[in-house]
Amino acid sequence: MASIKQNLADQPLPDFRNAGVMLRILLGVNLLALLAALVQSEGLSDSLQHFVDLAAWVQPVLLFNLALLALLGKLLQRPAVWIGRALVLLLAAGSAGLVSEFWLFLTFDQGGWQPLVRAALFGGMAAAFMLSYLALRAAALSPALAEARLQSLTARIRPHFLFNSLNAVISLIRLDPRRAETALEELAELFRALLRDPRELVPLADEIALCRQYLDLEKLRLGERLQIEWELGDPPLGLEVPLLLLQPLLENAVYHGIEPSAAGGTIRISLLRRGQELHVELANPSPAGVDHSRGNHMALANIRERLALYYDLEARLEAGELTLVDGRREYRVRIILPCRDRSP
């Protein structure tokens, strides 16, 4: 089971194929180079000259390393974490040394072994610095998850839903015992998912199945008031996604969009693959006089945090209300995920 519930020491290597990680490394190393230039120089304009000199070999080394790490990304995840880290450090130090040697060769400089070691040290230390920063960042985002887990039962499933569903099931026992059985099974499945560690990843197909069970239960209570439209455009069913990525959003949609309306409405869910991205869109009617923001924030903030942790900058979550052509108002949430397989 893929998960990210580690301490800082065994925090896995960052996903080097992630654009956000690349960007952070690019900016971080350049900041280090700027710092080095500032330390070396005496004046401000002087430091700029130093930085340009330094950049001449920092940039090629950096780009070479990023490209190599992206290619090796999967291989590096395979051995123990400390071996992976050591390999990254060796790679950075080695390539920094080599490029500096090559540079000296081009400029006919004879520096001996000292510049080479200096360059290797700079490369290795920069890599160590970036690795610790990324590990710290991942760890900093994790407490939010631990907290979310503590609050799970009240924050992620509304007690309102739980007790109303139990009430509905009880009313079914005399009328339709078989339906009552199914409903209790669905409720059990839902609670099993809710009690799991929120940091786990599950196949998209499982999350969709969970959503269907949840909606089935809501349909029991709300009957014809709740209409569902699924649009599945070849979604990657095997893709691993954060647990409970969609269900809390559906619960919001039912609570804010369907329950306050006597006539009910339709919730539309679409999962479409667009190139290398998965586009998930949820839309529900927004009845007049209903404040969507209250209580909605918690679920959205929680999902947003988990997306930042798993995908860094590569996933997006947008939410907002808009007015349709016929004057009705609709609330939409859209999540865009990279379709890449993340498992090592």
Binding site for another protein (CB under 8 A): 158-160, 162-164, 166-168, 170-172, 174-175, 220-223, 259-262, 287, 289
278-312 core/surface letters (b: 16 or more CB in 10 A; e: else): bbbbbbbbbbeebebeeebebbbebbbbbbbbbbb
Nearer to another protein, 151 or 171 (CB): 171
Nearer to another protein, 70 or 153 (CB): 153
Nearer to another protein, 16 or 161 (CB): 161
Rounded to whole angstroms, the Cα distance separating 88 from 101 reads: 20
Provide the angle, in degrees to the nearest 10, between the axes of the packed helices 114-150 and 44-77: 60
Least distance from another protein to the Cβ atom of residue 173, Å: 9
The per-residue DSSP string of 224-279 comes to GGEEEEEEEES--TT-EEETTSSHHHHHHIIIIIITT-SS-EEEEEEEEEETTEEE
Nearer to another protein, 56 or 166 (CB): 166
Using the structure block, give the residue that is written with the tokens 């009240």.
Answer: 154
Nearer to another protein, 128 or 222 (CB): 222
Least distance from another protein to the Cβ atom of residue 179, Å: 10
Greatest CA separation for the chain: 93
Under a CB-based contact definition with an 8 Å cutoff, are residues 254 and 221 in contact? Answer: no
Nearer to another protein, 43 or 159 (CB): 159
Nearer to another protein, 218 or 305 (CB): 218
In Å, what is the CA distance from 124 to each residue of 33, 119, 153, 266, 322?
A: 13, 9, 46, 57, 51
Least distance from another protein to the Cβ atom of residue 246, Å: 23
Rounded to whole angstroms, the Cα distance separating 167 from 187 reads: 12
Under a CB-based contact definition with an 8 Å cutoff, are residues 218 and 186 in contact? Answer: no
In Å, what is the CA distance from 29 to each residue of 54, 61, 86?
A: 11, 11, 18
Least distance from another protein to the Cβ atom of residue 304, Å: 26
Least distance from another protein to the Cβ atom of residue 2, Å: 35
Nearer to another protein, 139 or 222 (CB): 222
Least distance from another protein to the Cβ atom of residue 303, Å: 23
Least distance from another protein to the Cβ atom of residue 184, Å: 13
Under a CB-based contact definition with an 8 Å cutoff, are residues 28 and 125 in contact? Answer: no
Least distance from another protein to the Cβ atom of residue 210, Å: 22
